[in-house]
Amino acid sequence: MITFDRHFFRQFTPLNQLSESNLQDLISKIHIEQAAKDTPLFKRGDNDQRSIYIHRGTVLLLKANGGKDRLVGGTPASRLPLDPHTPRTCTAITEEEVSYFVVDNGYLDLLLSWEQSGESYNVADIEAEEEGDWMGNLLQSQLFQRIPPSNIQLVLTRMEPVNFDAGEVIIHQGDESDYYYYIKAGSCLVTHQAKSGKVIKLAELKAGQGFGEEAMISNNPRNATVTMQQSGSCMRLAKADFEELLKTPTLSAITFAEARQRLAEGGGQLIDVRTESEFSRFNLKGSLNIPIYLLRIRARELDSEQTIITLCDNGKRSASAAFLLNERGFHASYIDGGLIGIKQQLQQQQGK
């Protein structure tokens, strides 16, 4: 008898890229489902944001050109999601009773994005030598060197000081993003609570470090809790001000056509920040795979004189990657909509 535990789900891609805690989180949302013979699982052209994995049974895939494929549960091919395209490129109908499970792509992408962002939480790598010189260290960061002087003045004007006691929670996991924080004095602990209730320590932040930007860039809920370890203070910048003064001037979204033109002219390097397994299934010719969780380490391999274009499946991870590279002095843009957007654009062009 098969036990549907983490060992079972770790057979499937890209679930096998998740940490134990994140995989357990995902498993808590998954139910093994049954479908009778001749049941349609989806139709060609559907835009459902789901990944369907076949555990047992046979599914018939009907292609637009009249061709047919069969996928049988328990085979190597069934370790990948069924027709992982948006919109769907074929119609899937069960040939016999089938056992399967469904993963929400939005939540899976959130876990992958969080997990690959360097110890599962995106922090600005700004080390302050002295707590009292927080403004000088902030102004010397690569990020602030990329924004107009007028924006710098506005950032410093709109930042507000907030004092916190030891043990006080600054941001809660699951909350919507509202502020970007920069630690002026004291230290903070970053933790994540799994569905099992286990609290996992992710990082310790010191004076001179910032946090909270990733959720505002990706428009996802907070993926961790940040608690003040020692009584201290932070400077915080409201989301609207962050987007206006920091995100907009430093983060550039480009279309696939623009990216292709730059690459054709030899003026850029395409970096695919998805996981290795995602990249191996499909990738654009000429792209270099550097998963976002390795980007901090491997950024030194990139040519700072060359424009960097980042890419993922839907644009969320690549936006975070572009912002991370810009913090380090690169000139990075990301392809708006990612591979899903590219495919939709190409299909629209073919339909004209």
* Dihedral in degrees, nearest 10, Cα atoms 303, 304, 307, 312: 70
- The domains located in the chain, with CATH, are 6-104 (2.60.120.10), 116-248 (2.60.120.10), 251-351 (3.40.250.10)
269 — alpha (psi -120 to 50), left (phi > 0) or beta?
beta
Provide the token pair at 212. Answer: 């909270």
Band of pLDDT at residue 284, cut at 50, 70 and 90: very high
Question: Under DSSP, is residue 34 helix (H, G, I), strand (E, B) or coil?
Answer: strand
Give the H/E segment covering residue 101. strand 98-104
What is residue 119's predicted lDDT score, i.e. its pLDDT?
39
Q: Which residues partner with 288 through β-bridges?
A: 271
3-state per-residue secondary structure call for 210-232 = EECHHHHHHCCCCCCEEEEEEEE
pLDDT cut 70: percent of the chain above it: 88
Average pLDDT (311-339) is: 87
- Our measurement of the distance from residue 229's CA atom to the centroid of its chain's CA atoms, rounded to an integer in Å, reads 28
pLDDT at position 326 over 90: no
Of 161 and 202, which is predicted with more confidence? 161
Please tell me the distance from the alpha carbon of residue 337 to that of residue 317, in angstroms, as a whole number: 11
The C-alpha atoms of residue 192 and residue 18 are separated, in whole angstroms, by 14
Label residue 120 by pLDDT band (50, 70, 90): very low
Residue 124 pLDDT more than 50?
no
d(CA 20, CA 24): 6
Which percentage of the chain shows pLDDT scores above 90? Answer: 32
- Take residue 167 and report the two structure tokens written for it: 């043990």
Mind spelling out the 3-state secondary structure of 257-300?
HHHHHHHHCCCEEEEECCCHHHHHHCCCCCCEECCHHHHHHHHH
Q: What's CA 198's distance to the chain center, in Å? A: 23
> Cα(113)–Cα(116) distance, rounded to whole angstroms?
5
Strand 199-205, strand 179-193: pairing: antiparallel
pLDDT at 162: 95
- Residue 188 pLDDT class (50, 70, 90 cuts): very high
Contact between 233 and 239 (Cβ < 8 Å): no
CA 111, CA 100: separation in Å to the nearest integer? Answer: 21
pLDDT digits (tens, 9 = 90+) for 62-83: 988 888 889 999 988 888 889 8
Residue 26: pLDDT over 80: yes
What's the rounded mean pLDDT across residues 149-174?
87
CA dihedral 14, 312, 88, 53 (to 10 degrees): 10
SS (H, E, C) 80-97: CCCCCCCCCCEEEEECCC
Region 287-305 average pLDDT: 83
**For residues 99 and 28, what is the distance between their CA atoms, to the nearest angstrom?**
18
User: 34-61 pLDDT, tens per residue?
Assistant: 999 999 999 999 888 899 999 999 999 9
Mean pLDDT rounded to a whole number for the chain = 83
How confident is residue 270, by pLDDT bands cut at 50, 70 and 90?
Answer: very high
pLDDT of residue 114: 60
Q: What is the dihedral of CA 277, 281, 287, 292, to 10 degrees?
A: -30
Cα 22-279-110 angle, rounded to 5 deg: 30
- Answer with the residue of higher pLDDT: 123 or 264: 264
Residue 346 CA from chain centroid, whole number: 24
Among 180, 192, 202, 163, smallest CA distance to 126 is for: 180
CA quadruple 106, 112, 118, 120: dihedral sign: positive
Backbone angles phi, psi at 237, to 5 degrees: -125, 125
222-253: pLDDT as tens digits: 878 999 998 999 999 999 998 888 887 778 88
